[in-house]
Structure 1
Amino acid sequence: MELRHLRYFLALADELHFGRAAQRLSISQPPLTVAIQQLEAEVGAPLLLRNSRGVQLTAAGQALVPAAQAALDGAAQALHAARDAASGRVGRLSIGFAGTMLYRGLPQMLRRFQAEHAGVQLTLRELSSSDQLVELQQGRLEAGFAHVPSAPAGLAQLLVSAQPFVACVPAAHALARRRSLPLQALAAEPLALVSRSVSPDYHARILNACQAAGFMPRPLHGLQHWLSVVSLVSQGLAVALVPAALQRAGLQGAAFVPVKDPHDTLPRYETRCLWNPARDLPALGLFLAAVREVAQSG
C-alpha cells in the first residue's frame, strides 16, 4: 500500500466526485481511477459505490477514512522527527564531566546550549577522567570533559580550560597568610591529592614537581575527588596543590595561595572536551559549538 493511494482516497472520500478530487490533487482523472482500483484490490473489497448520483463510501471505505488519515499523519510525524534529528533540533546526549568543570564554565555551556536547543535532552554524568575515556570509547557518552594532556586515539578534542595549580592550606595555618610561597614550603606537611587511579597523569606530574623542588611528600593522602582534597585540607589534616578554580568552591576553613614556580615545574591543569568524531550526531555538533563559544569567551 502506497501513501499516495491513501492520499488520493481521502481526497475522493472528501469530495465524493472523481473530477473534483482529481482537480484538488492536481492530476487527471484516469490516474486517480487507477489508484483507487489498485487500493481496492489490495484491500480486497470495494471502497466506493459509483452511480449516476456520484460516489458513495462503502462500509469498508468509511472504516478506511480514519485509519488512512492516521497513517498519513504518522508518516508526516515520522518525516518531521527525522528532519529534526538530522538538523540536531531533537535528540539525547549523555555528557560526562569531572567535578571541577562545575567551576570552569560547564554550567554556562549547558545554559547556552539548552536556551537555543530545548528539544535536545542532556544527561549529565560525573565521572573521573579515566572513566570518561572508557565510556567515550564504548559509546556510552557522546562527549566528556576530562583532565587529560591530550586526546587518546580515536577521540577528537577541544581545550576548554588551562589553569594553574595553587597551594591549598588550612585557613589557620601560618602559610595561609603568605601572598605566595615556593613549592618547598609544603615539604614538611602531609600532602593530599587525587589518587593515581583517578588521574594518573596529574598525580605523577605533581609528585614530579615536588621531587624537582627537593622533597617527596610523606605521608601522601590519595582521594577520589578534588573537592575531597580541599575538604580534607579545610579540616586541618593536610595541605594540597589544587586547580585554581577550586577557590570558587566556597569551602570554609581552606585558604589558597599562589605558588612561586620559577622553573615551571608544576603543570597547568588542562580540561579537554572529548568526543568521537566518527559518530553522526548533529545535536552533538550543536553542543560542541556552544562549548567553543563559552570556552573562547572565557
Structure 2
Amino acid sequence: MPIENTSRSLEFRHLRYFLALAEELHYGRAAQRLAISQPPLSVAIQQLEASVGARLFDRDSKGVRLTPAGDVFRASAQALLDRAEDACALAREVQAGEVGRLRLGFVGSTLFNGLSAWLQAFQAAHPRVEVVVVELNSQDQIDALLQEDLDLGLVHTDRLPPALVAQPLYSEPFLACLPAGHPLAALAEIPLAALSDPPFILFSRKGSPDYHARIVAICRQHGFYPRLQHEGRHWLSVVSLVAQGMGVSIVPAAFQRAGIQGAVFRSLAEQVDGSAVFAAWRTDSAGVLRERFLAARPAS
C-alpha cells in the first residue's frame, strides 16, 4: 500500500529513531537502545515515512529490512543529524567564549604598554577566536562602539555616553617630549612652566576632547596656556612632529619606547595625574569574549 504524504514536519527525534532501527533491524532491540517502548517507536517510524512520502522499512515474518528508499535515506539522515550536532556544539562553544570574533579598538599608547603580549596570551588560550584589531583615537572608538562596529575599545577616557561603560586598566606618567637638540633636553626633569614658551604640539581636540582638555588643564594649573601650533590625531604623530623640531609636548610615558629618533623624553618636575587607559564597551553587548579577553591581560 503506498505511503500517504501528510506533510508532517520532519523531527530530529524521528531521524534518531530511524537510524537506531536501521542499525538494529529489530524493533525490540532498537526500542531498548532508545530507552522507549516499541509502540512509540512504531508510531514515530510511521510518521517519518508519511513525512518522507516513501516506505523506508519492509516488515514481514522474516523481520525488518531497509527498502531501497530507506537505504538511500539512511546516509542523508545521518548527515542531517551530524550537522545538527555540529551546529549545537558550535552554539555552545560560542556561548562559552571558545569560538567567535572579537573586534578590538585601541589607542596607540597601548602598543607600547603590552598590547602585543596581551593579544598573544589571549590567542594562545583561545585559538578559535578571531581577533580583529584597529587603531583608532578615543573619540573614533566611542563612535564605533555606539554604532556596534567594535566590541571592545581601549581608550583614554571614562567620560562616555550612557550606552557605554568603562573599566580602568592602568595609568602611566606623563613625560615632557622634546626635540633632541632642544636646550631643555639637557635637564633631567622639566618644570612645566618651561614649556610655556616653545610651540606646543597636542593631541587633536576632535580625536579625544577629554584628553586634549586634560593636558591643557595641566598646563593652566601651572600658570600658562600652551602655545598650540600643531595637532595630531594619533600620539605617534605628535611625537614625530616633536622629533622634527616642530615643538614640544606632554605625552604618555609609553611613547619613549616607540623608538622615534630625534625625540627625547624627560620626567616632569611637578606631580601630575597620570595618563589612564580604560576598557570600554556597550552596556547591552554580550560579554563572554570581552570578559575572557580582559582576564587574559598579563600582570604588569
Question: Do Structure 1 and Structure 2 share a fold, with TM-score over 0.5?
Answer: yes
Change (3 A) 1:111 1:213: same
Match of 2:176 in 1: 167
What code does the residue aligned with 1:277 have? T
Determine if contact 1:104/1:161 at 8 Å carries over to the other structure: no
Q: Provide the C-alpha distance between the structure 2 equivalents of 1:71 and 1:128, rounded to a whole number of angstroms.
A: 47
Please report the TM-score for the alignment, with normalisation by the length of structure 1: 0.92
Task: Specify whether residues 212 and 17 from structure 1 end up closer, same or farther in structure 2 by C-alpha distance, changes over 3 A only.
Answer: closer
Does residue 34 of structure 1 match 2:34? no
Paired residues of 2:58 and 2:64 also in contact (CA < 8 A): yes
Stretch moving more, 120-129 or 14-23: 14-23
Cα distance in 1 for residues equivalent to 2:283 and 2:296: 17
* 8 Å Cα contact 1:205/1:267 also seen in 2: no
How large is the Cα RMSD of the aligned pairs? 1.7
Separation in 1, partners of 2:53, 2:263: 82
Moved over 6 A (4+): none
Rounded Cα–Cα distance in structure 1 between residues aligned with 2:163 and 2:133: 22
Q: Percent identity?
A: 50
Distance 2:17 2:75 in 1: 14
Distance 2:215 2:53 in 1: 79
Where does residue 292 of structure 2 map in the other structure?
A: 286
Letter in 1 for 2:279: C
* CA positional deviation for 1:254: 1.0
1:137 aligned partner: 146
Q: Which segments of 5 or more consecutive residues in structure 2 lack a partner in the other structure?
A: 1-9
1:242 aligned residue: 251
CA distance in 2, matches of 1:89, 1:130: 30
The one-letter code matched in structure 2 to 1:280 is A
Aligned residue identity for 1:105? G
Q: Take 1:219 and 1:130, find their aligned partners in 2: how far apart are those partners?
A: 20
Cα distance in 2 for residues equivalent to 1:133 and 1:51: 71
The residue that corresponds to 2:56 in the other structure is 47
Q: Which residue in the other structure is 1:270 paired with?
A: 276
Q: Distance in 2 between matches of 1:285 and 1:209?
A: 34
Moved more, 106-115 or 190-199: 106-115
The TM-score with structure 2 as length reference comes to 0.91
- Spell out the pairing of 1:116-265 with structure 2 (5 A cutoff): 116-261=125-270, 264=271
Show structure 1 runs of 5+ residues with no match. none
Is 1:88 the equivalent of 2:97? Answer: yes
